[in-house]
Structure 1
């Protein structure tokens, strides 16, 4: 129940506890499908960029070089960084629901425009705008999913949702196998149709999101307790209609001060002074996984074509096992992040990913792996690395106060991805252009070292947030003193 106290501009609420005590139900499943599909779109985009790289180099309109392919990956990431910052600020200011419509519309428009690229610079521009849409999606969607998901399921749900990136990767791989086959579609038309897949999926998702309400937690921190109460009561009514007996919420009510926004000065003081240690952990985790993933996955097709002579039309066949390993990692390991705990599992998955990458990189440099063995090695590495990368987003989303959650995700995503995601693809594109396995090994060892460093930082300073409400992990800025 929510009791406004107008004179003191303070009100009491038990709505977060009521959301946390809900069983898993149809509402949560639909929420995950409608919002979690963002990662599917990102996986589709990243995979298409790699899978169609050969076709882009042979396109009469584009004629991209290996360095241009790396630059396009950097443009996509740069757009994601700026989109995350700009739309992350708007998400905390204007609401989760408004922004996950705006960012999806931007994505659909930009990825459709990519299909009509007419030269190198138009392709780079449209990839940049596509990245802006995806970056904005990350901030709005991560916030919304965590704020609706009961605390005891939060780790597994967040990791599994992030893992759907690889369903998108599989779709991108399958689409490229079909559309890059000259027996079905001409080469220059094929890669254009591939980018149309994302636009079509985005339009479908747009319709799926129409039924989603605003986050009650966001409404509480923006002085709208009555609207938040109406939404929570509507969700509870759905559960009761489905035959669930809802237990009483645990713990005492929160006392919230009314406010309509959080000043930027308070945002940055909270991020970099009050929660300085958590900020360092989040920045380290996101930077390491961004370099690891973007460096390797944006350019893996170039490795296959340059060093294993795989025809670009067949790249998609090698993406599918990688996508399987990446999706199974969060799905199978995710529950352990709630049971064993965040600190142990995040450190373990980061550490083992770094070790395996260093070993496989050495075997690659020594030419001890054929293309099938190399693919199997990547499949095993990404089984662990996918859970690690997903846990980075989980960490930055749940360890900062509600009022600045989306912007916190945006800031650390921007710093981490800017450092690791823009440098990585560009660097690897140039390393591959050297045609020397030893040069590529240097890049792999850099990625491995970053993952091992991140594992150590998490082991010492990580937050044990498993099973706790978001308000317990990080006290809301608008919460009144008891």
Structure 2
């Protein structure tokens, strides 16, 4: 053992906490976790939809900010860039300082930044506020996904993760409907409508912050960082609550894991883990994130602009709401299949099917009306929503616990930087070019790229994916601090 290793190790313990969490039956307490943590995706959906639906309101220089279509695409790219930076910055802090501290801090950053957006006085202020808002949301993705996976029992983890990530579209539907009265000149002054929409997002965030305060720290994080007494007390409280709520007796557990407790895990060790110990899983996560990031950020950030610019739609909120509902229903309906049919088959199927359907859409784009384009988009993203949600599930469960938040952040940042920044910029440029020629079919190349990337992601999953359904997190990827002992529960499949 090196001197640096001795300096961060604090002791060794053998614990049954992971097995006790995974054997719990579903109870009302788990809904507290879902509501307190999962609702962040509603905020993200609200943010993205408000921007997508309010493109026309932001363009006038008198009541808006004087943005062009390219500026709208740039704003989307700036938001995503902020999310990438925030994911990496807050992701490493989540692994070092704990899940709860960071999911409270990142929500606070989002709230302040959203208020600043509402008070934007010029495009530069707006871009800066969008970047800061993105940092909060990016940090949320890392902190929340890791906390949820470590608190939800293994038999339910797939459906809960997919459904929660799909709740992005609840916010999207709410945001699109919210913009209808706020963009109606007969209801409210157009100089104030879009500002109020952002302000209402901040109010919702404050409500979520109040609920989230009751969600405990991850016991798994606590016992690895030398705070096993706190972890034990939290698990006992959870067990007592679950027994009271369900009336069921809890089965005893005999699976334990021996851990070398550490104060922190260095970035070099995390990097070696991701790229050297789990190369196939690294390729899978990268492929899934790039595909879904380009697909969603390219299509959805500019969807409202497409409807208003080429198809004569004045109130895009109704169309976006239909599209959003289809996405949420897809994630909700298909989510149980990720635990029953399995991760590999479902991710591959949803990615390939949605990619192929988007390619079909690109070939006939010039013949679509606003209604038929929305209908086709609803069909495509009914499948894509579940698959995209499963990308976050995959990154959060196939790497060791000590690296979980940063791995989520890394793949989110890299995949989103490749697909999420380039997508809005490309589509903004394509829309400007197509507007000059008055030909919507000129933006079809963006759909083709998105479809091909989704199909490629599905194929990679089929060959390299991990069959993680029903398994404990520790058996999917043994913690870096776990002892190589023959203790029950310590065995793990060979890294790949």
Task: Give me the TM-score of the superposition, normalised by structure 1.
Answer: 0.96
Over residues 420-452 of structure 1, what are the superposed CA-to-partner deviations in whole Å (9 max), with x where a residue is unaligned? 000000100000111233321111000000001
Q: Check if 1:94 corresponds to 2:97.
A: yes
Distance 2:25 2:96 in 1: 30
Aligned residues: 472
Distance 1:242 1:425 in 2: 47
Match in the other structure for 1:13: 15
Match in the other structure for 1:4: none
Distance 1:115 1:274 in 2: 45
Kept in 1, the 8 Å contact 2:107–2:136? The answer is: yes
Kept in 1, the 8 Å contact 2:44–2:171? The answer is: yes
Structure 2 counterpart of 1:455, from 455, 458, 474: 458
Distance 1:17 1:454 in 2: 32
Kept in 2, the 8 Å contact 1:97–1:214? The answer is: yes
Kept in 1, the 8 Å contact 2:343–2:468? The answer is: yes
List alignment gaps of at least 5 residues for structure 2. 1-8, 486-496
Match in the other structure for 2:338: 337
Distance 1:263 1:297 in 2: 37
Distance 2:119 2:252 in 1: 54
Match in the other structure for 1:396: 395
Kept in 1, the 8 Å contact 2:398–2:476? The answer is: yes
Kept in 2, the 8 Å contact 1:59–1:187? The answer is: no
Over residues 367-407 of structure 1, what are the superposed CA-to-partner deviations in whole Å (9 max), with x where a residue is unaligned? 2x221111110011110010010000000000000001000
Structure 2 counterpart of 1:472, from 456, 472, 475: 475
Q: Check if 1:407 corresponds to 2:406.
A: yes
Distance 1:189 1:26, change over 3 A: same
Distance 1:251 1:295 in 2: 49
- The 5 Å alignment of 1:267-278 reads 267-278=270-281
Match in the other structure for 2:329: 328
Kept in 1, the 8 Å contact 2:10–2:262? The answer is: no
Shift of 1:192: 0.6
Match in the other structure for 1:371: 370
SS at match of 1:211: coil
Shift of 1:59: 4.2
Q: Check if 1:74 corresponds to 2:77.
A: yes
Kept in 1, the 8 Å contact 2:155–2:471? The answer is: yes
Shift of 1:9: 2.7
Over residues 173-196 of structure 1, what are the superposed CA-to-partner deviations in whole Å (9 max), with x where a residue is unaligned? 111001111111111110111111
SS at match of 1:458: helix
Match in the other structure for 2:214: 211
CA RMSD of aligned residues (A): 1.2
Kept in 2, the 8 Å contact 1:322–1:378? The answer is: yes
Distance 1:55 1:258 in 2: 54
Q: Check if 1:299 corresponds to 2:298.
A: no
Kept in 2, the 8 Å contact 1:55–1:187? The answer is: yes
Distance 1:371 1:438 in 2: 14
SS at match of 1:400: coil
Match in the other structure for 1:26: 28
Distance 1:316 1:363 in 2: 24
Distance 1:277 1:204, change over 3 A: same
Q: Check if 1:417 corresponds to 2:416.
A: yes
Distance 1:251 1:47 in 2: 48
Distance 2:483 2:12 in 1: 7
Distance 1:464 1:251 in 2: 24
Distance 1:265 1:451 in 2: 31
Kept in 2, the 8 Å contact 1:14–1:249? The answer is: no
Match in the other structure for 2:443: 440
Bigger mean CA deviation after superposition, 60-69 or 246-255: 246-255
Structure 1 counterpart of 2:251, from 233, 242, 248: 248
Over residues 182-221 of structure 1, what are the superposed CA-to-partner deviations in whole Å (9 max), with x where a residue is unaligned? 1111111101111112100001111111111100011122
Shift of 1:252: 2.3
Kept in 2, the 8 Å contact 1:22–1:246? The answer is: no
Kept in 2, the 8 Å contact 1:34–1:208? The answer is: yes
Match in the other structure for 1:220: 223
Kept in 2, the 8 Å contact 1:286–1:417? The answer is: yes
Kept in 2, the 8 Å contact 1:17–1:249? The answer is: no
Match in the other structure for 1:282: 285
Kept in 1, the 8 Å contact 2:10–2:263? The answer is: no
Shift of 1:263: 1.1
Match in the other structure for 1:3: none
SS at match of 1:182: coil
Kept in 2, the 8 Å contact 1:465–1:473? The answer is: yes
Distance 1:19 1:13, change over 3 A: same
SS at match of 1:258: strand
Match in the other structure for 1:134: 137
Structure 2 counterpart of 1:160, from 163, 174, 178: 163
Distance 2:54 2:300 in 1: 13
SS at match of 2:351: helix
Over residues 109-129 of structure 1, what are the superposed CA-to-partner deviations in whole Å (9 max), with x where a residue is unaligned? 001110110111000000000
Kept in 2, the 8 Å contact 1:221–1:402? The answer is: no
Over residues 141-178 of structure 1, what are the superposed CA-to-partner deviations in whole Å (9 max), with x where a residue is unaligned? 00011100000000000000011101100110111001
Over residues 76-128 of structure 1, what are the superposed CA-to-partner deviations in whole Å (9 max), with x where a residue is unaligned? 00000000000000000000000011100100000111011011100000000
Shift of 1:244: 2.8
